[in-house]
Amino acid sequence: SIIDLSVFKDRNFTVGTALNTCVGAILYSTLAILPLFLQNLLGYTAYHSGMAITPRGFGTLLSILIVGYVSGKVDDRILIGIGFSLMAVSCFMFGNLNLQISMTNIIMPNFICGLGLGLIFIPLTTLSFATLLNHQMTNATGIQNLLRNIGGAVGTSLVSTLITRGAQTHQANLVHNLSQYNPVFQQKFMAAKSFLAQHMSSVVATKKANYLIYSQLLEQANLCSFIDCFRLYGILCLILIPALVLF
């Protein structure tokens, strides 16, 4: 056979690989949707979007230095648990965003997420291979990296589907508010129409006012979909913590 699956008889390796696969799914998924959120909803350029995500790398670097210092002094399972908790906090912070935020609201969750990732990867790898024999290491490393990449691919595909379907669902739930029987809608519509009528005909102003309000509804529906995905991954991070007792 191309690979030796007997390494999965080792409980530490099996649990570690499963957690690594989930971490890969969370990591690649959040990295995939965050630029979409920043560029499509907040109007960031590709450059500013990249700058907002960069602190994640600094957080990971800092946490790797911390792990190197406390390695052997603190139980690896505790470090991993703290890492998952930080990632959950980061996801829930992303889950409280709106369309009026500053870049600081993006930088801080990214930095915290980077801290969590650094606290997870090294201790998790150490625990995964701690009970394997030397001749099993190469094969086990290849399998674990493969499954982590598969997890990332599946997670990215899943989150893309969730965002698309979630946006449609939220749009269907919100659209009933755009009714002539809704006084708030009537107030906003008349205000937009009155402003636009100063620069164009009444007929065109009416159509553009409807389009403007409906565009805002689409933005809010997409925002709610992104928030749902971030909160879902935050819950997943918390669910993974009890699995550490299996090591």
DSSP state letters, 55-98: HHHHHHHHHHHHHHHHBTTB-HHHHHHHHHHHHHHHHHHHTT--
**Helices 202-240 and 137-174 sit at what angle, rounded to 10 degrees?**
140
Question: Does residue 222 register a pLDDT over 90?
Answer: yes
Q: Please, which residues have CB within 8 angstroms of residue 76's CB and are 6 or more apart in sequence?
A: 123, 124, 126, 127
Q: Give the pLDDT score at 190.
A: 85
> 50-59, 95-104, 148-157, 194-203: lowest mean pLDDT where?
194-203
Q: Give the pLDDT score at 1.
A: 66
Stretch 176-200: mean pLDDT: 84
Nearest to 158 by CA among 39, 28, 61, 43: 28
**Contact (Cβ atoms closer than 8 angstroms) between residue 108 and residue 7:** no
Q: Give the pLDDT score at 236.
A: 92
**Contact (Cβ atoms closer than 8 angstroms) between residue 111 and residue 57:** no
Residue 30, phi then psi, degrees to nearest 5: -65, -35
Beta bridge partners of 74: 71
Q: Give the pLDDT score at 133.
A: 87
Q: Please, which residues have CB within 8 angstroms of residue 190's CB and are 6 or more apart in sequence?
A: none
Percent of the chain with pLDDT over 90: 45
Q: What gap in Å lies between CA 166 and CA 146, rounded to an integer?
A: 30
* Look-up of token digits 């709106």: 98
Q: Give the pLDDT score at 15.
A: 93
**Contact (Cβ atoms closer than 8 angstroms) between residue 229 and residue 28:** no
**Token pair in block for residue 158:** 């899943």
Q: What gap in Å lies between CA 36 and CA 245, rounded to an integer?
A: 36
Q: Give the pLDDT score at 232.
A: 92
Can you give the C-alpha Rg of the chain in angstroms?
A: 23
More confident residue, 176 or 62: 62
More confident residue, 196 or 58: 58
Question: Does residue 88 register a pLDDT over 90?
Answer: yes
Stretch 5-14: mean pLDDT: 89
Stretch 215-239: mean pLDDT: 92
Averaged pLDDT of the chain: 89
Stretch 223-246: mean pLDDT: 92
Segment holding 228, helix H or strand E:
helix 202-240
Percent of the chain with pLDDT over 70: 100
Instruction: Report pLDDT digits (tens) over 143-171.
Output: 999 999 999 999 999 998 999 999 999 99
Q: What gap in Å lies between CA 10 and CA 247, rounded to an integer?
A: 10
**Contact (Cβ atoms closer than 8 angstroms) between residue 159 and residue 226:** no
Outline where 130-201 has alpha helix (H). 137-174, 183-197
